[in-house]
């Protein structure tokens, strides 16, 4: 009979969280190439500690990607708790854009783990669609959002707007694009 998996020690959990925070900040900055040594240094741990948690760069990128995706998905109900659905959807779009923009130096590694099947994009789309559907349902209930929408269509549109590497008008243009999307999702007055 196998014994239940032990929970990591508190200091190990703290180190892992610090490594993910340092990696998020390093990958989000475009100032210099991101090395694992830099991430360990910025997290205040030794390189051995980094390798115990993330034996490869790919493992670190995957963990960071999954952690950030979970935060984006979890932001939907949190936004609905404090905002009306229309505003929650617009703020969720901004949160997704923030998430998408922090991938400067990890794009090649992320692409490799996706191609290897380590990250299942069907599952990623499903998680994002579930988050958007929650907001759309709330908007349908309060009659501020159209009821004929497919959450997956909204996700694909938002992801596409964020996938453009350089918009001529920068983040301001992306914001205007999101405003256009929201205007198309808004329930017209009857």
Give yes or no for residue 22 having a pLDDT over 80.
yes
Read off the pLDDT band of 48 (50, 70, 90): very high
pLDDT at residue 164, as a whole number: 72
What's the pLDDT at 173? 84
In the chain, what are the domains?
Answer: 10-55 (1.10.10.60), 57-185 (1.10.357.10)
pLDDT tier, 26 (very low <50, low <70, confident <90, very high otherwise): confident
Q: Is the pLDDT of residue 99 over 90?
A: no
pLDDT of 89: 97
Res 110: pLDDT: 78
Classify burial at 41, counting beta carbons within 10 Å of its beta carbon; exposed 0-12, middle 13-18, buried 19 or more. Answer: middle
Rounded mean pLDDT of 119-135? 92
pLDDT at 104 over 60: no
pLDDT-based confidence at residue 98 (cuts at 50, 70, 90): confident
Comparing 20-34, 64-78, 102-116, the range with the smallest average pLDDT is: 102-116
175: number of Cβ within 10 Å: 16
In terms of pLDDT, which residue wins out, 136 or 114? 136
């Amino acid at each position: 009979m196998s014994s239940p998996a032990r929970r990591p020690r508190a200091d190990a959990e703290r180190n892992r969280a610090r490594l993910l925070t340092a990696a998020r900040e390093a990958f989000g900055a475009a100032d210099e190439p991101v090395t694992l040594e830099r991430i360990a240094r910025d997290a205040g741990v030794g390189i051995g500690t980094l390798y115990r948690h993330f034996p490869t760069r790919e493992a670190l990128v995957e963990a960071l990607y999954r952690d950030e995706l979970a935060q984006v998905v979890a932001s939907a109900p949190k936004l609905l708790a404090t905002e009306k659905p229309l505003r929650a959807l617009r703020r969720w779009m901004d949160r997704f854009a923030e998430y998408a923009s922090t991938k400067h130096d990890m794009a090649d590694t992320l692409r490799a783990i996706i191609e290897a099947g380590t990250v299942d994009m069907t599952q990623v789309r499903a998680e994002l669609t579930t988050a958007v559907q929650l907001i759309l349902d709330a908007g349908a209930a309060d009659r501020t959002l159209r009821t004929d929408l497919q959450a997956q269509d909204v996700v694909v549109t938002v992801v596409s707007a964020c996938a453009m590497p350089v918009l001529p008008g920068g983040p301001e243009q992306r914001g205007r694009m999101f405003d256009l999307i929201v205007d198309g999702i808004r329930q017209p007055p009857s």
